[in-house]
Amino acid sequence: MRVGMVTLGCDKNTVDNEYLSGLLGARGHHIEIADPANPPDVVVITTCGFIEAARNQSIAQIREWAGIRGKSGTRLGVIGCLAQRSGEELLRDFPQIDFLAGVGDFERVASLVAGENKSRFVSDVSDSRNDWNLGQQSGAVSDIEFDDREFAADAPRVVVAKTLPRQRVDRRPHGFLKISDGCNHTCTFCSIPLMKGIYTSVPKQTLIDETRRMLDDGVREINIVAQDITKYGLDLEKRLMLPDLLNDLCGIEGRFWLRLFYLYPSTVTRDLIALMKDQPKIARYLDIPLQHLDHDVLRRMKRPHDRARTMDMLRMIRSELPDVTLRTTFIVGFPGETPAEFKTLTEGVKEIRFERMGVFAYSREPGTPAGEMANHCTEKVKQRRKDKLMKLQSKISNDWAMEQVGTDREVLIEGRVPESDWYVGRSHSEAADIDGVVRVYSEQELQTGQFVQTHVIEADTYDLTAEVI
């Protein structure tokens, strides 16, 4: 049977689809990227429900494939976060859906896809038992902010308790290692815990096994992802285990990079930065979503709101890792955000000068505390502030890019530009799919997944141009 995959949303969904593809591939099914021009026997849409734009994208894909189903007979499956949160509404609005499931328990979802389970709606595909409360463990580690979130007995939960088969649907030289799922933070703007449930770490040996398999499959950059990678292992051993995990991964033989995504600011420790300083396999790149830099806005967001501590953390990283690339994201137009609070954010951006930055206009999410707050900003104000902050960031990014001209950089080759001597690659400073690239000129043939030494000869705001040396 041909199974077409549609992956929407974050890279954690990419990992989940690779688990599902591996389980289906082991059953003898052919896995491919779904193509409307050549409909498969069954299509699986992994949805995202994070913000309104993501929900609209998921619904648009469901609508498109519902129309294709009527013409081709392709079975239509909808899974993932939006299905978890709004499954009954989706089934009501799209009777063409043949099966629907939320998050977790990949074996049962694979049975749905393969037609072994004839159910149409699996509302609980996860192990929803909750016998662990993070708030009760708050004394386990000192000097760390903990959130005390209560989860209902039937809350969703994504559990990967053993090594699962994984099958990639592309041959790019980077892959994702999801070290946990779910979230215990109580950010007032975020709906992720409503869809993913309690923070649940993947056992360390499972992650080591997955990394080895990806390396054997040609992956040369392992992107370590979770809702918050800094709290990895707290639910397993009541301590922060990310440095231990990174040490073990760096001990695997071979030439590869590890890249760290989504670090919660209050748990970026000196031990972690010291490890990065000592381990050449860890890319000098940190993605730390800060969301804002004003004390009062952060307090309303229920984020770490000690601005001085956050700024000290950023300065410490700059001091210990002078060549680090810092990426962050900010939300503008949060309920009640004043011009003075927005100015505090812009002044902080001017000081830290993040090399990479994303800006989101606040999205009012149903079921979240922020959605019920007073003094919501108008769409016009939100867009104006977003444009202003991105204009500032464009200048900072351009200045940084120009400073790289004349420097030498190691680059991982992603592929060749057709009918040219140019290749596309990335250095430590460019993450796949979200940052720019390094255009590499070489008179000799290069291979995808090859590391090369280059000299930067040109730059624009987001991309570098280099030649092999």
Q: Helix and strand tally (H, E) in the chain?
A: 13, 19
CATH class of 126-287: alpha beta
Alpha-carbon gap, residue 289 to 237, rounded angstroms: 26
Q: Is 173 left (phi over 0), alpha (psi -120 to 50) or beta?
A: alpha
Question: What is the reported pLDDT for 194?
Answer: 84
424 strand-pairing partners: 415, 439
Per-residue pLDDT of the chain (469 residues; tens, 9 = 90+): 999 999 998 899 999 999 999 999 999 999 999 999 999 999 999 999 888 889 999 999 999 999 999 889 899 999 999 998 888 899 999 999 999 988 887 888 898 888 886 666 554 433 332 222 222 222 223 333 434 444 444 567 777 877 888 998 888 999 999 999 999 898 999 988 888 888 999 999 999 999 999 999 999 999 999 999 999 999 999 999 999 999 999 999 999 999 999 999 989 999 999 999 999 999 999 999 999 999 999 999 999 878 889 999 999 999 999 999 999 999 999 999 999 999 999 999 999 999 999 999 999 988 899 999 999 999 999 999 999 999 999 999 999 999 999 999 999 999 999 888 899 999 999 999 999 999 999 989 999 999 999 999 999 999 999 999 9
**CATH label, 408-468, candidates 3.90.1150.10, 3.30.450.20, 3.40.1190.20, 2.40.50.140:** 2.40.50.140
- Which of 37, 160, 36, 190 lies closest to 45 in space, CA to CA? 36
- Which of 224, 166, 227, 218 lies closest to 196 in space, CA to CA? 227
Question: What is the reported pLDDT for 109?
Answer: 85
Q: How many CA atoms lie within 13 A of 386 on its CB side?
A: 18
CATH class of 2-122: alpha beta
Question: What is the dihedral angle through the alpha carbons of 139, 201, 224, 281, rounded to the nearest 10 degrees?
Answer: 70
CA distance readout (Å), 58 to 9, 18, 77, 428: 9, 19, 12, 32
Q: Which two tokens stand for residue 74?
A: 């392709």
For residues 183 and 227, the answer to whether their CB atoms sit within 8 Å is: yes
Count the residues in the chain. Answer: 469
Question: What is the reported pLDDT for 430?
Answer: 97
Alpha-carbon gap, residue 66 to 43, rounded angstroms: 10
CATH class of 296-313+327-403: alpha beta
Question: Measured in whole angstroms, how far is the alpha carbon of residue 240 from the centre of its chain?
Answer: 20
Which amino acid appears at position 422 of this protein?
A: W
Question: What is the reported pLDDT for 359?
Answer: 97
Alpha-carbon gap, residue 144 to 268, rounded angstroms: 10
pTM: 0.88
- Segments of 73-163 assigned E as strands: 75-80, 99-101, 121-122
Question: What is the reported pLDDT for 119?
Answer: 66
Q: According to CATH, where is 3.40.50.12160 located in the chain?
A: 2-122
Residue for token pair 């800060």: 290
For residues 79 and 91, the answer to whether their CB atoms sit within 8 Å is: no
Q: Which two tokens stand for residue 406?
A: 């004349």
Question: What is the reported pLDDT for 106?
Answer: 85
For residues 204 and 237, the answer to whether their CB atoms sit within 8 Å is: no
For residues 350 and 311, the answer to whether their CB atoms sit within 8 Å is: no
The 8-class DSSP code of residue 188 comes to: T
Q: According to CATH, where is 2.40.50.140 located in the chain?
A: 408-468
Question: What is the reported pLDDT for 114?
Answer: 86
Q: According to CATH, where is 3.30.750.210 located in the chain?
A: 126-287
464 strand-pairing partners: 438, 459
For residues 101 and 125, the answer to whether their CB atoms sit within 8 Å is: yes
For residues 44 and 6, the answer to whether their CB atoms sit within 8 Å is: yes
Question: What is the reported pLDDT for 121?
Answer: 58
Question: What is the reported pLDDT for 132?
Answer: 24
Question: What is the reported pLDDT for 341?
Answer: 98
